[in-house]
Structure 1
């Protein structure tokens, strides 16, 4: 890195959504940033991601919030259903936006990755270049050191954004048990929209769920989950989806029929036991590396984006890094641990399989909906209404933080 010095150098290990957002936020604060990615390209998995108002406000900090909001495709009504099609609860995009200060935006991961990466200088991302933490450094002294096939890099700051099975996390906290199997597996597909119109929905069955959501480009993002033994994937996952969900209400069968060869399946792992801190020395963890969670609240990527902008807020180049990283851990660890626990509770509800338990669950959902859509949306209170800990470029718009108390 000609012209740079270890004193202003930040190395991000991993180029997922959290890692790239951290790289942009740190670059905008004045860090000389390098992103190390072991994959040969930035092309992410072919799936969608839901960006809630909390992550949109975080993206405001790097100037990307409005661009993402313009991609919102959910208009009108939606809600939760039974496999036979009966609506358990109803809400609409307007009610959600009014409660939390913005819409839910479903985007393809590749779209989000491309738009974040475009805010980095040329050459900042090194693909086909895995990074391993050799030394976390000391906050008040020695730099951190990352080993790559191209040689070692010394840096004032290292960001471990290398996912659920993070090598950086294992290097920092070797005694921590890490993620454990959550008891269920997930499937994801992105396919052309079915011919018949549909309302966005999440459908809950015995020990399983299905969601169908529109994307702005005319496709749909569908996801499914089911209780299953770990490692029980099959060669033909489309056939497995048909077996499990083929008799569910429309448009589920049509979406499955449009998905030959594009079904992604992943067992779910989460970190119920929080780390003692999100940092050690000059090295900090963000996203799934720090707090892998079940996807049942759709907050994994959202929390990673929050992590990124909070980190940049607390760690300006040349500042007291020890104090800054301690402040970052203090802000993020309690919040993310709470979201991990809440996601696990929702996962346990989804996992109910006995007929009496499912009937009670469905009755409670339907009753809550009849009492008012606000009761259903209240699940996301304290999550989707989060504000960044600094004034954003769009202060005053979309409910973004404008100088009042912030929720880290």
Structure 2
């Protein structure tokens, strides 16, 4: 398809990746982000091979790998430190060409922003409407902060609470609370930890960490809790709750500043959307398939979306045909990954009954050593399309 003009609503990881992909195939792209600062306030992120392959297709994989730390050692434990399953990052690297890597979300966001000209980013501007153009300049018009942006294609990467999704699918129930809430932070200073990545499962609780290249760590605590429940002093609550859990959990919390702790309920699109496109508008990332974090695939799937979208637009005779291909490729895969993530949470962090926890732990201990690798391969072994 000849080059055109696109507007991307949302300047998160998925939105920036989509803009990079479309620019890579010769399109003019404007990213509209309502936040006053174009940055990612999240803590850390793990990227599996599929996410890295998508970044490679978009031309930024090498830069991300250079800023990340490979996750070669670690696994899943019980609160007293006993192993349930070990992760073999070297086996993953042999199978996929890369281990899982960990990187601060802010660093990933910065590397993606660096691929786009400053003039392509409208920050602190909200996209209020997408409507047919009155005359010329593209089939669609995006109203944003008093501006009218013509667009041959609109990419709605506006997150879990996507306004665009509500307009396109008004009967869809929207996000649903998963039953879990997550607190997370990055330590103030480097910490000592034996593994690059670990998860610890208690009863209705999970504590995990990933190590970064500079020696700091991101940790997260996921708890069964009512929606909206908050603590007067979140860090003090976690230090008390996890005081008897194995090393390095107390040390990670001790190395954290109280103001660094983020707290969000885990919401998802539990009801799958009937489509990711309407006319010349495509939903991408959490706007299309927000999922629980139990497989670490949310950002990876958004990056896949971006690569597939750019390849589809480049290879189709029209935007409409391109978006039909995008929908056909992305909807089955992302909705399957979302179902698998939900199930992983129910059998992992959310499991609270002592007998059920004991059975799960026994099954994990008895499983062959390659089962964990095969579980990761099931979602990470994805081939990226050629972009540009």
Work out the CA distance in 2 between the residues paired with 1:82 and 1:193.
Answer: 26
**Aligned counterparts, 1:28-177, within 5 A:** 28-74=24-70, 76-135=72-131, 143-177=139-173
Unaligned runs of 5+ in 2: none
Work out the CA distance in 2 between the residues paired with 1:306 and 1:126.
Answer: 24
Work out the CA distance in 1 between the residues paired with 2:191 and 2:263.
Answer: 25
1:4 is matched with none
**Aligned counterparts, 1:170-249, within 5 A:** 170-192=166-188, 195-199=191-195, 200-249=197-246
Aligned residues: 381
On the 8 A contact 2:131/2:141 being kept in 1, the answer is yes
SS at match of 1:284: strand
SS at match of 1:323: helix
1:254 equivalent to 2:251? Answer yes
* Corresponding residue to 1:320 among 318, 321, 328: 318
Work out the CA distance in 2 between the residues paired with 1:196 and 1:324.
Answer: 49
User: Displacement, 1:195?
Assistant: 4.7
Work out the CA distance in 1 between the residues paired with 2:225 and 2:232.
Answer: 16
User: Displacement, 1:194?
Assistant: 5.5
Work out the CA distance in 2 between the residues paired with 1:201 and 1:31.
Answer: 41
SS at match of 1:277: coil
1:301 is matched with 299
1:356 equivalent to 2:355? Answer yes
**Aligned counterparts, 1:270-289, within 5 A:** 270-289=268-287
Deviation readout 1:262-302 (Å, 9 max, x if unpaired): 11111011112211110101100000000000000001111
On the 8 A contact 2:70/2:100 being kept in 1, the answer is yes
Work out the CA distance in 1 between the residues paired with 2:302 and 2:132.
Answer: 21
2:364 is matched with 365
2:333 is matched with 335
User: Displacement, 1:190?
Assistant: 0.5
Work out the CA distance in 2 between the residues paired with 1:255 and 1:44.
Answer: 22
1:3 is matched with none
TM-score of the superposition, structure 2-length normalised?
0.94
On the 8 A contact 1:30/1:317 being kept in 2, the answer is no
Work out the CA distance in 1 between the residues paired with 2:184 and 2:132.
Answer: 36
Cα separation, partners in 2 of 1:241 and 1:129, compared to 1, 3 Å:
same
Unaligned runs of 5+ in 1: 1-6, 394-408
Work out the CA distance in 1 between the residues paired with 2:310 and 2:20.
Answer: 9
On the 8 A contact 1:184/1:228 being kept in 2, the answer is yes
Deviation readout 1:246-271 (Å, 9 max, x if unpaired): 22111111111222211111101111
Cα separation, partners in 2 of 1:163 and 1:195, compared to 1, 3 Å:
closer
